[in-house]
Amino acid sequence: MPTPAQSKEKVEAVLPLPRKWSSIMVAAHIVLAFAVAFIAAWLLHPGYNLIAVLVIEAYVIAVIGLGKMNNIFGIFINERNLMSLSRLQVVVWTLLITSSFFTVFVERLASATADPLNIEVDPSLWTLMGISVSSALFGAMIQNTKKNRTVDIELKNTLIRKADAAYGQGEDQIAENLQGTLFANTSYTEARFTDIFEGEEIQNHAYIDIAKVQMFIFSAITFIAYFAAAFSLIHKAGVPTQLPILNDQFLALIGVSHGGYLIGKIPNYTKSTPE
């Protein structure tokens, strides 16, 4: 049985940290940030205004994280108090696509273009967003099946000792945090960026998941490539009429990386028995 002091420490660990920013302050920062983004997109040199808008939108995401979790990366933390690669995917593509669209819109507005919202968007761009969102949803569905499994009793104590040696969270706490065969932290304050590269089960969480590393690298390369294309399109003389068009190879690369990521989630790495 835990002592009163240990129980108090456990309760304090899961309680949210005092929020430094009130809801009103968060809302005010978001409104101000978008106002600055509009001015930047209007006044800055084409191309560089895209960079400014992208940075400002990233600031908005950080403000939301600060307001809710007292952490600028709060939006990337999932329900198991771990940084999520699928959340990172959805957020970064949302930032890049919306900032590109917003910048082109403001430039068209500044040029007194008729119907400034008439911007051609490649249908493949919506396919890309669909892949990212679907990957996150199907990943969550696969995880839910593992929450209904119980770690084999002969293996459980050994795995918990190994996890304690790796993270120093205490064997009792690790055992209590388990969600089926899935590893979980006690509090979102324990989330780390390196979580996005690690396995998800108690059996493999202390190890690097190669499928996640592959998807991260593919995603980083395609993100940089699309950003460069958007910068070049906006930087050129003339008023933009469309967002960059994705070729089939670009979309296939993203699809393959997400497919490998989801397939890597399917196997049960931890010996378990259905409940």
Query: If we measure between CA atoms, which residue out of 202, 186, 212 comes closest to residue 14?
Result: 186
237: in domain: yes
Give the total residue count for the chain: 275
pLDDT tens for each residue of 204-227: 888 999 999 999 998 899 899 999
pLDDT tens per residue across span 255-271: 888 888 899 898 888 88
Structure tokens at 44: 């800055």
Residue 18 placed within a domain:
yes
Other Cβ atoms closer than 10 A to 129: 14
Residue 190 DSSP label: G
Cα-to-chain-centroid distance, residue 266: 20
Does residue 6 belong to any structural domain of this protein? no
* Residue 85 predicted with pLDDT over 90: yes
Whether 7 is covered by a domain: the verdict is no
> Structure pTM?
0.84
pLDDT for residue 19? 58
For residue 147, tell me if it sits in a domain.
Answer: yes
Which residues, other chains included, contact 149 with Cβ-Cβ below 8 Å and sequence gap of 6+? 180, 181, 268, 270, 272, 273, 274, 275
What kind and span of H or E run contains 181?
A: none
Nearest-angstrom CA–CA distance, 97 and 230:
9
Work out how many domains the chain is built from and give that number: 1
Is 17 a residue whose pLDDT tops 80? no
In a domain, 9, yes or no: no
CA-based diameter of the chain, in Å? 72
| Radius of gyration of the chain from its Cα atoms, rounded to whole angstroms | 22
Q: Could you tell me the residue range of the domain that residue 171 belongs to?
A: 14-274
- Determine, yes or no, domain membership for 246: yes
Q: Is residue 195 part of a domain?
A: yes
